[in-house]
Amino acid sequence: MYKPTLDYAQQLDKEDNLAHLRAQFHIPKDTKGNDWLYFTGNSLGLQPKQTQQYIQQELDDWAKYGVEGHFEARNPWMPYHEFLTNSMANIVGAKPLEVVVMNTLTTNLHLLMVSFYQPTKTKYKIVIESDAFPSDRYAVQSQLKFHGFDTEEGLIEWKPREGEELLRIEDLEKIVDDQGDEIALLLIGGVNYYTGQYLDIKRIAEIGQAKNCMVGIDLAHGAGNISPELHDSGVDFAAWCTYKYLNSGPGSLAGLFVHEKHAHNKELPRFAGWWNHNKETRFNMRQPFDVMPGAEGWQLSNPPILSMAAIRASLDMFEEVGMEALRAKSEKLTGYFEYLINQIDTGSIKIITPSNPKERGCQLSIQVKNADKSLHKKLTENNIITDWREPDVIRCAPVPMYNSFEDVYRMVEILKTLL
């Protein structure tokens, strides 16, 4: 079906009904004006051209109205976070009540663990993937320590089997079957940042909850990449950043999901601030704390509007295109990428990401035997922006919003000459 030629790649771009989106982004260029082949949307998504205008609107209204902008701005700042909720909920498959944009990812994980990691003397352990993103590992270790537990003994790693790279759900099942009485929480990356493996979130929720463990999912590499259907999955909570696939700018705010089943539980332990207090009486100032239902009940502070404006610019694009169309293109684009890599006639290259499109997002993690970081350097010198993970893995994410079939074709042609 696919063909390994430039003509064919260009033909796929012509047939792609999302191809026009690329022109709505700033694509970084080299000094001669050639577009970079940008494959690191999994690390920092590119800037939508309309972001500037969305931020400018808030700067203008701040200049014009000062504090009155909270009510008088074209997009009043007081409820500004609410403008993001519906489109964010659509992206992750949640109800609006279950989602809010606030803080940053690791901060949100901690706030969620305040509520959902409630260890007892005997049921206190936390399960993570052995290849968990370092921030998540540090976060759960510090939670263990904070509650007075040993950070080694209290941490259970779900590992790939000897000689394998990917995780098997049966192995998680066995861990929870055997040790579930001691486990308080499963905190798992929905799409693994290293291998690109997309895990069965619903199954993880079932496995954990069968033994009364809380289940949280880190969707940093999932949001805007795959459709996790968070509500139906039944996971207790989730969090994700918006600067990767959600194109909202470096260090931008994060998303938080709390399942509807916890939405009205006022007894859950949680940290408080004025922004999770009842909106109706928030400005009466002298009221006792009255927590809001749903995900908004985890907010603390009034949020940074300039960062939210950038998120809004991006989410408006997602809302217009829809995850379904993006996913359809993504499967095709990554499928073509995989096909071209598999055409490379050398035994030294191996894709460690699952080959089943249902078990991955757009990223492919390519292992190059005996390679070192000089390969990554050479790719960069050739305008190919990828991410290198020691000892020998190149992570590449062709993003359906702005990467083309031609990008993928050119990348593999250059890789071939460098091998």
Ligand X SMILES: *Cc1c(COP(=O)(O)O)cnc(C)c1O
E-state strands within 230-279: 237-241, 254-258
Question: Rounded distance, CA 225 to CA 41, Å?
Answer: 10
Partners of 128 in the β-ladder = 157
**Does the footprint of ligand X cover residue 207 (CB under 6 A)?**
no
Residue 275 main-chain phi, psi, to 5 deg: -85, -10
Residue ranges in 208-237 that form contacts with ligand X under rule CB under 6 A? 218, 220-221
254 by DSSP, 3-state: which? strand
Residue 199 main-chain phi, psi, to 5 deg: -90, 160
Residue 325 main-chain phi, psi, to 5 deg: -65, -40
Nearer to ligand X, 138 or 146 (CB): 138
- In the complex, least distance from residue 30 CB atom to ligand X, rounded to whole angstroms: 27
Q: How many residues bind ligand X (CB under 6 A)?
A: 12
- In the complex, least distance from residue 264 CB atom to ligand X, rounded to whole angstroms: 28
**Does the footprint of ligand X cover residue 137 (CB under 6 A)?**
no
State the residue for tokens 């998120």.
311
Question: Rounded distance, CA 377 to CA 355, Å?
Answer: 27
**Does the footprint of ligand X cover residue 106 (CB under 6 A)?**
yes
**Does the footprint of ligand X cover residue 326 (CB under 6 A)?**
no
Q: CB of 100 within 8 A of CB of 298?
A: yes
Which of these segments, 84-92, 101-109, 274-282, 411-419, binds ligand X (CB under 6 A)? Answer: 101-109
**Does the footprint of ligand X cover residue 47 (CB under 6 A)?**
no
Closest CA to 303 of 103, 108, 112: 103
**Does the footprint of ligand X cover residue 92 (CB under 6 A)?**
no
**Does the footprint of ligand X cover residue 103 (CB under 6 A)?**
no
**Does the footprint of ligand X cover residue 135 (CB under 6 A)?**
yes
- In the complex, least distance from residue 130 CB atom to ligand X, rounded to whole angstroms: 14
**Does the footprint of ligand X cover residue 104 (CB under 6 A)?**
yes
Nearer to ligand X, 106 or 383 (CB): 106
Nearer to ligand X, 219 or 412 (CB): 219
Q: CB of 6 within 8 A of CB of 378?
A: no
- In the complex, least distance from residue 257 CB atom to ligand X, rounded to whole angstroms: 15
Q: Is 124 exposed, middle or buried (0-12, 13-18, 19+ CB in 10 A)?
A: buried
Nearer to ligand X, 243 or 409 (CB): 243
**Does the footprint of ligand X cover residue 193 (CB under 6 A)?**
yes
**Does the footprint of ligand X cover residue 180 (CB under 6 A)?**
no
Binds ligand X by CB under 6 A, chosen from 61, 131, 136, 236: 136
Nearer to ligand X, 71 or 138 (CB): 138
Binds ligand X by CB under 6 A, chosen from 37, 73, 100, 105: 105
Which of these segments, 3-11, 78-86, 98-106, 277-285, binds ligand X (CB under 6 A)? Answer: 98-106
Q: CB of 156 within 8 A of CB of 177?
A: no
- In the complex, least distance from residue 132 CB atom to ligand X, rounded to whole angstroms: 7
**Does the footprint of ligand X cover residue 131 (CB under 6 A)?**
no
Nearer to ligand X, 267 or 390 (CB): 390
Nearer to ligand X, 223 or 349 (CB): 223
Nearer to ligand X, 105 or 214 (CB): 105
Question: Rounded distance, CA 376 to CA 112, Å?
Answer: 37
- DSSP conformation letters of 319-340: HHH-HHHHHHHHHHHHHHHHHH
Nearer to ligand X, 61 or 136 (CB): 136
Which helix (H) or strand (E) is 28 found in, with range?
none
Which of these segments, 62-70, 81-89, 130-138, 205-213, binds ligand X (CB under 6 A)? Answer: 130-138
Q: CB of 176 within 8 A of CB of 206?
A: no
Nearer to ligand X, 218 or 338 (CB): 218
- DSSP conformation letters of 152-221: TTTEEEE-PPTT--S--HHHHHHHHHHHGGGEEEEEEESB-TTT-BB--HHHHHHHHHHTT-EEEEE-TT
Binding site for ligand X (CB under 6 A): 104-106, 133, 135-136, 189, 193, 218, 220-221, 241
